[in-house]
Structure 1
Amino acid sequence: MTKAINLVLGIFILFAGWQFSESIVKFHAYRDYANASLCLLFFSVAVVLAFSLNRSPNFKRNLVGFLISLSGSVLIVELSLGFLVSTADLDQQRRMIAARNDIDFDVRDRFEVVENFRRRGERYYPTVHPGSFLNRYLMVNGKPVLPLSGIAGVKTLMCNESGTYVDYFSDEYGFNNPTGSWSAPVIDAVFVGDSFTQGNCVFKAEGFVDRVREHLSHTLNLGIGGNGPLIELATLEEYLTEKRLRYVFWMYYEGNDLKELWEEKSDALLGRYLAEKPFSQNIVANKDAINRELTAFVEKRFQERKGLQQLEIMPKGPLELLRLPNIKAHLKNSAAAFSKKEAMEEFDLVVLREILAKAKLFVQGRGGELVFVYLPEFGRYNDQRSSGAIMKEKMIELVRGLGVNVLDMDLAFRRFPNPRVFFPFELPGHYNAEGNRMIAAEIKGYLLKAEASGQAAAGKISWQRAAGS
């Protein structure tokens, strides 16, 4: 009997150790709080169970009974979450809806997609987020640098929310622009923002920046996923100092921009863009050296993850249930929501006001107009508004108080009976092609109105009519 009990305890120890290794793999890949907590939990369980092997037979018998009962309860919860399709796993919901509508859905993760393209001999990289380098800079020529773009001149993978992965070929600075976009001395339209601006999850030519570019060839997209207001200010000051500008559209996403700013405030280097005048990392002058270091960093992380994935001792398949994917997804989602709530409670709008005021002066100093574009989240149309969404009226009042014009895309979306149709499968995420078309139309309407009123910034802009428009 004692041998049987020890065998069962050994199985539980191996299970805890396996879960620990799985969590380590995910933590190294995503550096998130949820997987760090799971690492600590399963490591502690494995250690406690290992020490219990030396306890009395009666203690071990009771412990095994408790563990079996607990395991049964955990599996019931896992199955229940899977049956209910928890909102924590949006990918699962998208796949189910796609299947019901006979839509092919690529189930690979981004790592697998990058790896598959590389096997064909292509230079293929994932999107790089500047926010990933907060307080842990690249060292370039012996100096710390916070990169503000992705890797330049490579095929760059974004995301998949509609069934197919989307990518683009990055420009000479690492942004989502066609080759030659930077050559004009005067830029008609500049867009700064996060992944919504970058064009996440929609095909080339479907994003709102690309749709505006159909009519204004001198258009720049400086959006990168995960960017918040302070990184966006830094991007303007690093890349546009030598340009004349006409319109700069500050694309503000209510879902997480304030949270991003709360995190950016902790970075000493970023803070210098707000506190010092002038301040520059000389990114344009050192772009080649920065790009080399950034490429090497991303390549190293990619190879690390590739090696870590080989540590997975249980393949995906019928035993996938033991990975507890639904419980982990729910915990990760809950941790992210808690983090966002805590951040918002501590946030002070004074910093955002300073950022926008400085951005306005920067744009005006180059002959242009700053326009604030308010981008709504899905939760606004699903009775699940985030803390940022709740602050909408206060935010718009702050911006207008600076003398900056506001384009409220929530009002545009609400002209339709069901604004959720502007999101893939009517689920939380980025805007689909129709949502991007709506935003582009509103921006074009603003520009046409400004031109007609004779109040156009920095002179007339040159419209070109796109085919089929």
Structure 2
Amino acid sequence: MSRIFPKIFFVLSVFLLLYTFYKSEIVWKGTRIDYYTLYYLLGWILLVFSIFIFFINHKIKEYIFIIFLSFLSALYIFEFYVNSLEINLKSKIYKDRNEKIYDERETFEIYSDFKKNDESVVLTVAPNFHLTNNKLIALSGASNSKTIHCNENGYYSIYQSDRYGFNNPDSEWDEKEIEYLLVGDSYTHSACVNRPNDITSVLRTLSNKSALNLGYGGNGPLLQYAGLREYLSKNVKNVLWFYYEGNDLINLNNELESTILNKYLDNSNFSQDLKNKQKKIDDLCNIAIEKEFTTLENRNIYKKLDILKLSAVRTLLYNYVPDKYRPKQQSRPKAGEKFYEILRLAKNLTLKNNSKFYFVYLPEYSRYKSDYDNTDYHEVKKIVKQLQIPFIDIHAEVFEKEKNPLNLFPFKLKGHFNVNGYK
């Protein structure tokens, strides 16, 4: 074995270098070179070492082989342990709190199980899925359908979508007066909690007023503005514009590539007439769900491959690397002219409708996990103030006042808000 060991080591080193090149230059197109530099360095060190062991004596090769095999075995044992630890911890906490079993099924599995008894069940389809469609961009999911959303709290959130595919009781659309209209992304969509714990239901309960939710996962500012243009009605009194600091500006960059979405910026009279095209939207969503189902199945395979890549071990090791030695993270886009323009248009549209406009700032998990750069926070706040829009700061008014803000996230881990967080 010690004779073929140098050859195996050489092949693995070359494979690591080629795979690193593929991820860095082809998948990420060189934009994350800082991150992959470490793997390039490791690959070259292993390659040089593999060449070196070709020329050492047989006995030393055996020792190196035994040490290498023992070290690799220990890493994989630890990888399996870390992977099982998180789900076991979640399961124990969930069972202690609720006397129920944590649902460990993947999304494609629960979807398959539901489809056996109900052919009409659907998955959520994020509007950004349709961005490359040059004919129609749906801003919601399938209508009047039992909709499987997500699981971060031990159970899958499931809701009955309304006539336009949003997460509302359908009767809300028939109210003579809508006190609150919410626009936003997955947090406004109330990812991973059920009614009446979603943000819109909580608002209805607290105010004893009607409220409609146009939020959907993956939305950025331009998709939110498009939603206002399509679904804002004359009976709305207040518009709540939810902004999530984690990825809204990143999503905006992608949305600005869409020809259709740009028409909302360039032409104040442009409309896709989505209220009257729900049948087409449902058809688009059903096609997307079939594609998504296949993707979810493949993703489950990829998750198993993550174990081979020692993903959990690498993440843990990365957390112990001093900040000054860490590769630079890809910088977020800045809140620039387009963001300002979208907010200005959204505010003007709302005022023209004789409604009031409010900006609601939502914080991300990493803000409370480590040192956080507030540059973007101050820049966004500055723009909102320039536009004289009331700024509701959920970070300052809610999370910062918590003894431990992580209690408002599922199991204190990264994710959307839990039931207490949405309150």
Q: Determine the structure 2 residue equivalent to 1:451.
A: none
Q: Which moved more, 1:360-369 or 1:124-133?
A: 124-133
Q: What corresponds to 2:280 in structure 1?
A: 289
Aligned partner (choices 97, 122, 125) of residue 122 of structure 2: 125
- How far off its partner does 1:339 sit? 12
Amino acid at match of 1:288: K
C-alpha distance 430-347 of structure 1, shift in aligned 2 (>3 A):
same
Q: Percent identity?
A: 31
C-alpha distance in structure 2 between counterparts of 1:259 and 1:332, whole Å: 24
TM-score after normalising by structure 2 = 0.75
Q: How does 1:25-174 map to 2 (within 5 A)?
A: 76-80=74-78, 94-95=90-91, 98=94, 104-134=101-131, 136-137=132-133, 144-174=135-165
Is 1:425 the counterpart of 2:411? The answer is yes
* Alignment partner of 1:188 is 2:179: yes
After superposing the two structures, state which structure 1 stretch, 356-365 or 76-85, moved more.
76-85
Normalization by structure 1: what TM-score? Answer: 0.68
> For residues 193 and 68 of structure 1, do their structure 2 counterparts lie closer, same or farther at Cα, with a shift above 3 Å needed?
farther
Q: Cα 1:103–1:380, aligned 2, differ >3 Å: closer, same or farther? A: farther
Of 333, 336, 342, which aligns to 1:349? 336
CA contact (8 A) 1:253 1:376 kept: yes
> How far apart, CA to CA, are the structure 1 residues paired with 2:114 and 2:314?
29
Cα distance in 2 between the residues matched to 1:151 and 1:253? 24
- What is the rounded CA distance, in whole Å, between the counterparts of 1:289 and 1:407 in structure 2? 37
Deviation, structure 1 residue 382? 2.0
The aligned runs of 1:247-286 (5 Å cut-off) are 247-286=238-277
How big is the shift at 1:159?
Answer: 1.5
Answer yes or no: is 1:359 the counterpart of 2:356: no
The answer on 1:393 being equivalent to 2:378 is yes
1: CA distance, partners of 2:295 / 2:203: 39
| Aligned residues of 1:371 and 1:405 also touching (Cα < 8 A) | yes
- 1:117 maps to a residue whose letter is F
* Match status 1:402 vs 2:399: no
Structure 1 pair 321–273 and aligned structure 2 pair: CA distance change class (3 A): closer
1:295-314 CA-to-partner distances (Å, cap 9, x unmatched) read: 123224425755x58999xx
* Amino acid paired to 2:234: K
Deviations 1:402-438 (A, max 9, x none): 111011111222223222222222222211222222x
- The CA distance in 2 between the partners of 1:71 and 1:351, in whole Å, is 55
Mapped contact 1:94–1:161 kept (Cα < 8 A)? no
Counterpart Cα distance in 1 of 2:136 and 2:315: 34
Q: Which amino acid aligns with 1:170?
A: S
Cα deviation, residue 130, structure 1: 0.9
- Paired AA for residue 149 in structure 2: M
Distance in 2 separating the partners of 1:299 and 1:332:
37
Change in 2 beyond 3 A, CA 1:74/1:156: farther
- The change in CA–CA distance for 1:375 and 1:320 in structure 2 (over 3 A counts) is closer
Deviation for aligned residue 1:227: 0.7
CA distance in 2, matches of 1:400, 1:393: 10
Give the Cα separation in 2 of the matches to 1:340 and 1:147: 36
Say whether the 8 Å CA contact 2:141–2:281 is kept in structure 1.
no
Give me the whole-angstrom Cα distance separating, in 2, the residues matched to 1:131 and 1:125.
17
8 Å Cα contact 2:147-2:160 kept in structure 1 = yes
Unaligned segments of structure 1, at least 5 residues: 21-32, 46-57, 138-142, 438-469
- Alpha-carbon separation, structure 1, partners of 2:78 and 2:312: 9
Name which of 331, 345, 361 aligns with 1:374.
361
Mapped to 2, the partners of 1:245 and 1:189 lie a distance apart of: 7
Shift of 1:361: 0.6
Q: Report whether the alignment pairs 1:411 with 2:402.
A: no
Cα distance in 2, alignment partners of residues 192 and 157 from structure 1: 20
Aligned to 2:212: 220
Say which SS state the counterpart of residue 404 (structure 1) adopts. coil
> Structure 1's 99 and 179: CA in aligned 2 closer, same or farther, altered over 3 A?
closer
Q: Tell me how far 1:262 sits from its aligned partner.
A: 2.1
Give the residue type in structure 2 aligned to 1:299.
E
**Structural RMSD (CA):** 4.5
CA spacing shift, 1:310–1:211, aligned 2, 3 Å: closer
The one-letter amino acid paired with 1:363 is: T
Offset, 1:375: 1.1
Counterpart-to-counterpart distance in 2, 1:340 and 1:352: 25
What is the rounded CA distance, in whole Å, between the counterparts of 2:111 and 2:171 in structure 1? Answer: 26
Shift of 1:203: 2.0
Aligned equivalents of 1:229 and 1:352: distance in 2? 7
Say if 1:131 and 1:68 are closer, same or farther in 2 by CA, change over 3 A.
farther
Report the alpha carbon displacement of residue 283 of structure 1 after superposing the two structures with TM.
Answer: 1.4
Distance 1:340 1:261, change over 3 A: farther
Verify the 8 A CA contact 1:81 1:327 in the aligned structure 2: yes
Gaps of 5+ in 2: 20-30, 44-53, 320-325
Distance verdict in 2 for CA 1:329–1:379, change over 3 Å = closer
> How far 1:161 sits from its partner (Å)?
1.6
Q: Secondary structure at the match of 1:238?
A: helix
